[in-house]
Amino acid sequence: MRGHIRERSPGRWAIVLEARDPITGKRRRRWVSFRGTKRQAEVEAARLVAEAQHGGAIEPTKITVAQFLDRFERDWVAANVTARSAERYQAAFAHVRKHLGDLLLQRLAPADLARLYANLHRNGLAARTIKFIHVVLHRALGQAKVWGIIRDNPAEIAKPPKAPQQETAMLQPKEATRLLERLRDKPLYLIGSLGLATGMRRNEMLALRWRYLDLDHARLTVAQALEQTKAYGIRVKSPKTKHGKRTISLPAHVVTELRQHWKAQQEQRLALGRGRISDDAPVFATHDDKFMSPAAVTQAWMQQMELIGMPDVTLHSLRHTHASMLIKGGVDIITVSRRLGHGSPKITLEVYGHLVTGADDRAAEIMDAAFGKIG
């Protein structure tokens, strides 16, 4: 930013501040009236320039909330989140545009956000959905602050309604066994068995190729995941986090099941005259050797759970059950975290820490052994 002064009449000055528009990038001027001597006007001009350069002032702009969200989606969302997440952002921002889109961004206040959340609640939107809208709006307004468009982020003050805790079902060992027994000889059995045995995410299992399996050494490698969006359909991408790429040891019974699955696929292909299975082929494939639709698999799973009388068991329940069984079995958190592909053991502890039991009793025993005989 630069600034200079112009005398309009004796004792009256125009302080001219020149800066680039944060939205268009074009240079524009801001005029500030001032009364006093020339020296006082120069000092005031210098103060305003310094204030702007150090974040103490924000140049006025007439950009609306809707216009800013357009830019945020174009310049930040498109470059920083997956296509699936981008769709979720767009859906969330559609609500914001409808209720607040015409407001000037720089006049957006915490009260406006509170009104937004209240309207969405009255319109029947779930509290969890409103919370997600708040989260992405908080991120967008935080970026507006970084870009120098607003001074304060009103989403840091306004709070959405509290979402009720919805815990994903964790099966007890007997329930997990019952699940597999009821799925036996059904199309989704292997997905259920592999999910329980490895804790893999749905989209990781569906992206699994035969070349990622080393059945002789009872291991598989999670190297890819599927992503399904309206814009691009089904695509292969990297796992959810950098820690998502991992190698998982397999229990013997799953190795046997995978060998049987490979044999069945092979026999089917030969019967149809398609030749041997390619190492690059999906383990869970459609009839034409394509990746299965994650949405279709979820729908089929829900229908199957209804039929076998376990409607609360989701595909994600398999992952939670895997983790809970390992922790209750005494496996350390770091190993559990690595098998799940979490970014850090801290995430694992936040989700499953309440399952860690017995360690405190052991700590008391150690202290008693060390000091119990004193005195």
Per-residue pLDDT tens over the stretch 36-77: 899 888 888 888 777 766 544 556 678 999 999 999 999 999
The Cα–Cα gap between 209 and 223 comes to 9
Six-digit token string for 112: 């406006």
The Cα–Cα gap between 328 and 358 comes to 9
What are the b/e assignments for 37-47, b being 16+ CB within 10 Å?
eeeebbebbee
In tens digits, what is the pLDDT along the chain, a chain of 375 residues? 677 888 888 889 888 877 766 555 667 777 788 888 998 888 888 887 777 665 445 566 789 999 999 999 999 999 898 888 999 999 999 999 999 999 999 999 999 999 999 999 999 898 889 999 999 999 999 999 988 888 899 999 999 888 666 556 789 999 999 999 999 999 999 999 999 999 999 999 999 999 999 999 999 999 999 999 888 899 999 887 778 899 999 999 999 999 999 999 999 888 888 888 899 999 999 988 899 999 999 999 999 999 999 999 999 999 999 999 998 888 999 999 999 999 888 888 887 776 666 556 666 666 667 666 665
Could you tell me whether strands 213-214 and 27-35 are parallel, antiparallel, or unpaired per DSSP bridges?
A: unpaired
**Three-class DSSP category at 2:** strand
The Cα–Cα gap between 99 and 111 comes to 13
CATH node for 65-156: 1.10.150.130
**Three-class DSSP category at 251:** coil
- Give Cβ neighbours of residue 326 (< 8 Å, ≥ 6 apart): 199, 335, 336, 339
Q: In CATH terms, is domain 173-355 a member of 1.10.357.10?
A: no
Ranges of CATH 1.10.443.10 domains, the chain = 173-355
Ranges of CATH 1.10.150.130 domains, the chain = 65-156
